[in-house]
């Protein structure tokens, strides 16, 4: 994940899940060990598109959906994949046999967050240690498409829980080509709109 994406994820998590809309660039820089110039570079386009308002000592998020779609347009999920394989087992069994320290993303994140799924799905996306997962699920010789994708887990992800935060779940789903990703996106968008309707 690029450094500026750490900023977007945090802004969305705080605004959507924590109902916090006011930030300082210094606090964000210190929280993620970033330079102020990186944080400024990240928030500048948000200001230009009217997603945030810069104030004398802070800035305020005023349009969560603009940040969400902007990050989705920048995200390159494929580049985050560090291991993939094919497992001939039901999705639920694959999910249950993954190491405890992984973080579920995409379809699984939606399912475990909302205890529901808008459509059946055939792949599992997780953030974790490739070598550890490879021991449980070795590289398959199957010519069928992979159905387990391991993505690079950054050091700050664990603060958001066992699944990706709602904003990141949406952004990751946006970057998945399978047709049923649209069903998940539509369902998650409705939940996000409900979550942010009482914003600033």
Say yes or no to pLDDT of 198 above 80: no
Say yes or no to pLDDT of 199 above 60: no
Question: What are the distances in angstroms from CA 53 to CA 7, 31, 47, 60, 69?
Answer: 16, 21, 6, 5, 18
Q: Where in the chain is the domain with CATH 1.10.10.10?
A: 3-74
According to CATH, the topology of domain 3-74 is Arc Repressor Mutant, subunit A (1.10.10)
Residue 13's φ and ψ, nearest 5 degrees, are: -60, -50
Q: What is the pTM of this model?
A: 0.94
Q: How deeply is 139 buried, as exposed, middle or buried, from its count of CB atoms within 10 A (0-12, 13-18, 19+)? A: exposed
Rounded Cα distance between 146 and 31, Å, is 36
Average pLDDT, integer, range 14-40: 96
Residue linked to tokens 């590289």: 139
Say yes or no to pLDDT of 79 above 90: yes
């Amino acid at each position: 994940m690029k450094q500026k994406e750490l900023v977007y994820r945090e802004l969305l998590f705080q605004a959507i899940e924590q109902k916090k809309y006011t930030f300082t660039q210094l606090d964000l820089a210190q929280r993620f060990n970033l330079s102020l110039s990186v944080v400024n570079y990240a928030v500048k386009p948000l200001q230009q598109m009217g997603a945030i308002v810069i104030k004398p000592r802070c800035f305020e998020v005023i349009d969560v959906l603009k940040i969400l779609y902007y990050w989705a347009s920048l995200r390159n999920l494929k580049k985050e994949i560090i291991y993939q394989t094919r497992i001939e087992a039901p999705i639920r069994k694959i999910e249950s046999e993954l190491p405890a320290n992984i973080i579920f993303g995409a379809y699984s994140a939606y399912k475990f967050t909302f205890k529901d799924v808008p459509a059946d799905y055939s792949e599992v996306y997780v953030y974790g240690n490739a070598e550890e997962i490879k021991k449980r699920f070795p590289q398959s010789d199957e010519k069928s498409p992979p159905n387990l994708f391991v993505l690079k887990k950054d050091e700050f992800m664990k603060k958001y829980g066992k699944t990706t935060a709602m904003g990141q779940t949406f952004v990751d789903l946006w970057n998945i080509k399978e047709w049923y990703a649209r069903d998940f996106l539509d369902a998650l968008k409705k939940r996000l709109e409900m979550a942010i309707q009482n914003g600033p």
